[in-house]
Amino acid sequence: MTRLLAVIERDLKKFRRNPVVLAMSVLMPLIYLIIIGNSFQGKLKALPVVVVDQDTGPHSGRVVENLQAVAAGPGTITIIRMKDQQEALSGVREGSYKAALIIPSDFSKNVARKSRPSVGLFLDNTDGISSETIRITVEGAVRASGTEYVSVREAAGEVRMRDVNLYSKVDYYQSLVPGVVIMAIFLGAMTTGAFNLVMDRFLGIDESYLLTPLSKAHIVSGLIISGLFITTLIAFFILIVSMLITGISFSAEPGQWVAIFAVITLTTLGLLSMMFVIIGRVNHPRIVGILSGFLNVILFFPSGAIYPVASFPGWLKSFALVNPEAYAVDALKSILFKGAALSSVSHDIAYLFMFTLIMMIVAIFAFKRTV
């Protein structure tokens, strides 16, 4: 333990002498939040929508046909047919689907009677862009099914849609916060831990390790733990500041703060360990700079932080299944915007734990303790 603490103490002292690195690790995610939050837009594809047709009449059939036309044409949505309304709503709450369209059993009858027919659209509005896109798409399909009752004002026979937000309103600006926190963790992982080892190797300082009884486990674990301490503080600072900037009101239960702490800690440990595996044998800091940009692109953008994973092409969805940042973003979104507890994000935390464990073991074995 004494040897491990010595490595941690030595590594932490470096950050006190180099505050510019810490300042950039804090400022860069906030700059991304402000710029991307006010400028980024995109065309969404393949958003999963559950349709529960309890009517199966001619008019409900027209609604479904219109939606299928959208799915086959522009491809904005993907239709999943289901019979159980509760199962459909549970799927939306769990994040399996973006919305559930419920067509009541008296829909066709009300259309024929011109007695204000309506359908229900239940939206996962934690992703503001996806929910608004689905709202517009489904509303167009519903209204088009009753074109024979077109009028300037709302008429008794006009087909209407009642949309219901399952959660409090989350705009696009706010939806970027989980991704910004993960970006802060990534930058912290790049500028701590393995990067310090690369600098020591470049300056020839790491040869002093050969004169000590420190094992590979002591060196790697010490650098990872020191990086964990700094990066976790940065991540929580970015989280609080981002919530203040975007106006997120979050009165969490203690269990939810525990879940946030678990997600941030595991993500930090996993990325720090991964950096050791990738750049642990690099001997020049310039290579680290090149790799940092590359790794940020392939991990951050396919994580679902700024664009829903459901709209990715198939090969990119497959990558998202093994991307640790995708699980971290999903967990933070569920906690911040859906009020999810630790048990609700257990699958994300389980993956992050396994990823961290594997990366730490590989990092220790891959570390080179020779000149």
177 and 35 inside one domain = yes
Starting from the edge strand earliest in sequence, which strands make up the sheet with 77-81, in order? 77-81, 47-53, 99-103, 118-123, 160-165
Kind of pairing between the strands at 160-165 and 77-81: unpaired
What is the per-residue pLDDT for 100?
Answer: 94
Greater model confidence, 247 or 86? 86
Backbone angles phi, psi at 75, to 5 degrees: 75, 20
CA dist 136 and 130 (Å) reads 10
pLDDT of residue 262 exceeding 90: yes
Which residue type does 356 have? T
**What percent of the chain is predicted at pLDDT more than 70?**
80
What is the per-residue pLDDT for 206?
Answer: 62
Token pair 């990715």 is at which residue?
312
Greater model confidence, 8 or 59? 59
9 and 144 inside one domain = no
- Average confidence (pLDDT) over 323-346: 90
What angle do helix axes 254-279 and 285-300 make, rounded to 10 degrees?
Answer: 130
Residue of 170, 107, 163, 112 lying closest to 139 (CA atoms)? 163
What is the per-residue pLDDT for 17?
Answer: 63
Q: What CATH number does the domain containing 159 carry?
A: 3.40.1710.10
- Average confidence (pLDDT) over 276-282: 77
108 and 228 inside one domain = no
What is the per-residue pLDDT for 35?
Answer: 56
* 2-11, 15-24, 132-141, 286-295, range with greatest mean pLDDT: 132-141
What is the per-residue pLDDT for 232?
Answer: 92
**Total structural domains within the chain:** 2
What is the per-residue pLDDT for 13?
Answer: 66
Confidence of residue 8 (pLDDT cuts 50, 70, 90): low
Q: Domain end: 127, 149, 169, which one?
A: 169
337 and 218 inside one domain = yes
What is the per-residue pLDDT for 150?
Answer: 42
297 and 187 inside one domain = yes
What is the per-residue pLDDT for 43?
Answer: 66
Q: Per residue in 124-136, pLDDT tens?
A: 888 777 888 899 9
Residue of 265, 243, 257 lying closest to 328 (CA atoms)? 265
- Average confidence (pLDDT) over 220-232: 83
How is residue 225 written in tokens? Answer: 């733990």
Q: Is residue 73 part of a domain?
A: yes
What is the per-residue pLDDT for 10?
Answer: 65
Q: Domain end: 169, 198, 213, which one?
A: 169
What is the per-residue pLDDT for 199?
Answer: 74
Residues in the chain, how many? Answer: 371
List the domain range (segments joined by +) for residue 223.
2-40+173-366
- Average confidence (pLDDT) over 201-221: 69
First to last CA, the chain: 25
What is the per-residue pLDDT for 48?
Answer: 93
Residue of 199, 193, 257 lying closest to 231 (CA atoms)? 193
What is the per-residue pLDDT for 266?
Answer: 95
194 and 156 inside one domain = no
Confidence of residue 247 (pLDDT cuts 50, 70, 90): confident
What is the per-residue pLDDT for 39?
Answer: 47
Chain-wide mean pLDDT for the chain?
81
Q: What is the dihedral of CA 105, 68, 122, 168, to 10 degrees?
A: -160
102 and 145 inside one domain = yes
What is this structure's pTM? 0.71
234 and 320 inside one domain = yes
What is the per-residue pLDDT for 22?
Answer: 64
> Could you tell me which residues are beta bridge partners of residue 161?
119
What is the per-residue pLDDT for 172?
Answer: 75
Q: Is residue 371 part of a domain?
A: no
Q: Is residue 360 part of a domain?
A: yes
Q: Per residue in 104-159, pLDDT tens?
A: 988 888 888 888 788 999 998 887 778 888 999 998 888 887 655 444 455 555 67
Q: Per residue in 185-196, pLDDT tens?
A: 998 888 776 677
**Please, are residues 216 and 143 in contact by the beta-carbon 8 Å criterion?**
no
Q: Domain end: 169, 204, 222, which one?
A: 169
334 and 230 inside one domain = yes
**Please, are residues 206 and 148 in contact by the beta-carbon 8 Å criterion?**
no
**Of the given ranges (21-30, 119-128, 322-331), which has the lowest mean pLDDT?**
21-30
